[in-house]
Amino acid sequence: MDLKDPQISEWKRFYRSFSFAWSGIIHTFKTERNFQIHVFISIVTLIVGYFVHFTKFEWIVILFLIGGMLALELINTALEHVVDLITSEFKPLAKAAKDAAAGAVFVYAILSVIIGIIILSNHISFELFK
């Protein structure tokens, strides 16, 4: 059944869209090693943040970094699936598209690590001198 089917109520369509989104997240978690790694690191980061008492602003930054990283990894996975669906043979443009998407994830991951280290270093240095 299609979400654009006029027989389906607006609320049912709304609910189903969340169901499809959640299904995509679960499928990606089950099948993509990099997404699993990002989720694991996110959980560790949240636990560490709890114990070192991140400020509200630090929590906002960390949550944006985690959300952005997971969203970018989902987009990268979607793009890879679409490229694989279109062609199974090697094509330079297909490779370039997949590499660019992976590069975007990599750039954001490096940025996230640097910001995470900056935030965490403030708490670790204070904890060591108490």
Catalytic residue annotation: 73
Tell whether residue 5 is among the known ligand binding residues. Answer: no
Asked if 35 and 74 touch (Cβ cutoff 8 Å), the reply is yes
98 in a labelled binding site: yes
The CA distance from 104 to 39, in Å, is: 18
Task: Determine if residue 73 is labeled as part of a ligand binding site.
Answer: yes
Q: How far apart are CA 112 and CA 23, in angstroms?
A: 26
Of 5, 45, 34, 36, nearest in space to 106 by CA: 34
16 marked as part of a ligand binding site: no
Say if residue 99 carries a ligand binding annotation. yes
The conformation of residue 6, written as its DSSP 8-state character, comes to T
Q: 């890879």: which residue's tokens? A: 80
Binding residues: 13, 32, 73, 80, 98-99
Binding residues for ATP: 13, 32, 80, 98-99
